[in-house]
Amino acid sequence: MASKKKSGKYLKFMIYLLVIVLVNVAGITLFFRMDLTKNKVYSISAASKKVVATLSEPLTINVFFTKDLPSPYNNTERYLHDLLAEYAIHADKFFNYRFFDVSPEEGETTDATKENQQLASNYGIHPIQIQAIEKDEVKFQKAYMGLVLIHGDLIERIPTITATEGLEYKLTTAIQKMNNKISALLSLPGKINIKLFLSSSLETVGPFMGIGNLSNIPEQMKTIIEKLNQKNYGKLEFEFFNPTKNQALQAVLKKYNIMTLSWPALSKGEVPPGEGAIGLVMEYGEKSLTIPLLQVIRLPIIGTQYQLSDMAEMGDTIDANIERLIDINEEIGYLADHGTLSLTGASPANPVQRQGQDSATNFRTMVSQTYSFKNINLKEQTIPENLNSLVIARPTEQFSDYELYQIDQFLMQGKSLALVLDRFNEVMPGGQQGMNPGQAPVFIPLDTGLEKLLAHYGIRMQQSFVLDENCFRQQMPAQFGGGDQPIYYAPLIKNRFINKDLDFMKNIKVLVALKISPLELNTENIKKNSLTSHRLIASSEKSWQMRGRINLNPMFIKPPPSSEEMQSYPLAYLIEGEFPSYFAGKPLPLKEVEENKSENDEKDSEQETAAKPSGIDLSKIERTGQFLSKGKPGKIFLMASADMLKNNVLDAEGQSSNATFIMNVVDYLNGREEIAVMRGKEQRFNPLEDTQAGTKTFVKAFNIAGLPILVVIFGLGVWFRRHSRKKQIQMMFGS
């Protein structure tokens, strides 16, 4: 009998063991993943799946990551493992990845580890120093935390990965960029010419300028180009020109704006007077880029210094400019005239303006990672047909009817407009913008003509600024009393005033606006034309408007005495649909050309007049076609604050919520909503919701007194239950 029981136990054990083995086998063969996080942080986006599923050449990702790193870096390694495994699930046969062991074992480095570390160094992945806390001691250690992507002959690297935020976006956009670059290079009918201009006359004056070895630069540059040619399918062609030996090159130097230096006799006549040029030009077709090789630095007391570009970094510089030259990124139109915001940091009116917080260079850097800007001079040219969107940022000059007609018809073609406008022109006294901080600026109302287009489409900007009690607060220095100063014209847009209907807006929790005007919809026009409007952001219910005489000095701004004067105001709208043309039913405008009536042109004018047919009124000839009175489905984004694109609001890395918001809008207008959603899901800033004063008081009181009272009540309940049970037992046995 005992033997039967024993054999039964063994049989059960074997059955259980078999079930466990079968479950593990099923887990390996029937693999699936389930991401339970709210934003699907550990699942790749649809855009990532599409990119890796459509690879046309092998892609290899080599990861160099030190093992067993302290927190939080170990979480980054684990996330990277999971992310690449997720890519592999949805990729085709061309996707591969590998983790290389670069960790020394017990203080000793094996031959294999040395080889992997050397391989990482060859790819430009070097160890960084991180901080670790062990046994209550702060220690520092070196760690490899980077990866390299190899696609065909192209190489991209992410040298430092210290956090998981934005990692999927970086990988996917890098893969997409490499795909586009391979396609663009293979389809080039000609070669990219790289021309070095270096005058041999500079070799005599170079030692006096603190620069030497100029004679080695041509050979160094040739070596760099040969190395780059290996991964650019032989599409580069190098040429060296010496302007000292060929005076006919002077016109070419002016054409490419090459730096030219001239000097008098130096060192008591040992160095004769002369001139020389130095610079690098990259040219393909009609496009060219000039790369300076010599920087001029002016230091206080020391004076003017000259510094040559680092030849070790020249390969990366040329490689980055190849991407700009062949336009591997989708182009975005940017209105470059009519006084719009300059992307270079200097305005035409003030070309020496420094690239400070008042410029939009961060916006240009951020957008240029995935797009290419194409400057549009509307006064001289029409808007190209191949553009999908046009950005107009802070125009200050009047648009002619013909220029408005071009913008109108661009929208009618089903394209997108990103309008970041100012309702006022901020001018310092005397007309010197930003040059006299001691005086208050004057705000002059702007009316460029775009306002009547927008009003026709169903939206208008109010002639005021929005001020908000929920605003950014500036920390004041101790000499000014300390504390914080509310900046009422910088509203803080809380989560509940951000529209979550669109997917790319769902993970944006907070924004900061600056000098922004409220918007107003014409609901009748919107409804009549079957347009869809999305109010993207709005101020809080504690907002009011500043009209008339504008003074944004925080010391003189006070909230209204009554809350009845406050309300929430829309600050940004996205409108979609088939827009009606502003020029429908009106005479179509013609391009006006200014005529010069100088004496030298009189003969030409007389000849042109004689050549015209007499007795014909050309204005009576009617034209039809090439005009759209009703547009195809298009999009308009409108926000009345150009400060939202400036450096004091946006960061070049695109990590802030404001930067994510702007880039998501740009992607959405260009049909890349999946990319926008992927970028937005990494936003992990989750501020607490606003609570009323009564709620705060209740929570405090509950934590201080409520919890102890609950513990006492619970204890009394337990005592009463035990006492009742004791009485029941006594009654049971007593009877």
Q: Per-residue pLDDT averaged across 285-313, rounded?
A: 77
pLDDT of 313 above 70:
yes
**Residue 310's CB: how many other CB atoms inside 10 A?**
8
Over residues 230-258, the pLDDT tens digits come to 888 888 999 999 998 888 888 888 888 88
CB 164 within 8 A of CB 182: no
Residue 347's contacts (CB-CB under 8 Å, 6 or more residues apart) are 339, 353, 433
pLDDT value of position 52:
87
CA distance 94 to 54: 9
122: which 2 tokens? 């060859």
600: pLDDT confidence band, cut at 50, 70 and 90? very low
pLDDT value of position 608:
44
CA distance 238 to 194: 5
- pTM (two decimals): 0.70
Could you write out the three-class secondary structure of 638-687?
EEECHHHHCCCCCCCCCCCHHHHHHHHHHHHHCCCHHHHHHHHCCCCCCC
CA distance 151 to 177: 10
pLDDT value of position 427:
85
Please give the mean pLDDT across all residues of the chain.
Answer: 82
**Could you tell me the sign of the dihedral formed by the alpha carbons of 110, 111, 116, 119, in that order?**
positive
| CA angle at 600 for the pair 597 and 602, rounded to the nearest 5° | 55
Q: Which of 289-298, 552-561, 723-732 has the highest mean pLDDT?
A: 552-561
**Could you tell me the sign of the dihedral formed by the alpha carbons of 424, 427, 431, 435, in that order?**
negative
pLDDT value of position 32:
63
613: which 2 tokens? 């047919």
Residue 204's contacts (CB-CB under 8 Å, 6 or more residues apart) are 271, 272, 274
CA distance 187 to 168: 29
Over residues 376-387, the pLDDT tens digits come to 999 888 888 778
pLDDT value of position 3:
66
CA distance 677 to 403: 34
**Residue 485's CB: how many other CB atoms inside 10 A?**
14
pLDDT value of position 109:
61
Over residues 541-574, the pLDDT tens digits come to 999 999 988 888 888 899 998 888 899 999 999 9
Cα 452 from chain centre:
31
Residue 674 forms beta bridges with which residues? none
pLDDT value of position 480:
65
Over residues 172-220, the pLDDT tens digits come to 888 888 887 887 888 888 899 999 999 998 888 888 777 878 889 999 9
68-82, 398-412, 482-496, 629-643: the lowest-pLDDT one:
68-82
Q: Which of 34-38, 168-172, 336-340, 425-429 has the highest mean pLDDT?
A: 336-340
Query: Which amino acid, one-letter code, is at 171?
Result: L
Burial class (CB in 10 A: 0-12, 13-18, 19+), 401: middle
681: pLDDT confidence band, cut at 50, 70 and 90? low
pLDDT value of position 384:
83
CB 497 within 8 A of CB 535: no
pLDDT value of position 303:
66
**Residue 204's CB: how many other CB atoms inside 10 A?**
17
Q: Per-residue pLDDT averaged across 498-526, rounded?
A: 91
421: pLDDT confidence band, cut at 50, 70 and 90? very high
CA distance 85 to 602: 76
Please indicate whether residue 333 or residue 354 has the higher confidence score (pLDDT).
Answer: 333
Q: What is the CA radius of gyration of the chain?
A: 34
pLDDT of 331 above 70:
yes
Instruction: Name the DSSP letter for residue 108.
Output: B
pLDDT value of position 616:
44
Q: How far apart are the first and last CA of the chain?
A: 46
pLDDT of 464 above 90:
yes
Q: Which of 40-44, 117-121, 422-426, 569-573 has the highest mean pLDDT?
A: 569-573
CA distance 276 to 272: 13
CA distance 376 to 332: 10
CB 203 within 8 A of CB 262: no
pLDDT of 267 above 90:
no
Over residues 657-670, the pLDDT tens digits come to 899 999 999 999 99
CA distance 648 to 209: 37
pLDDT value of position 573:
96
8-17, 408-417, 606-615: the lowest-pLDDT one:
606-615
Give the residue from 535, 201, 185 showing the smallest Cα distance to 325: 185
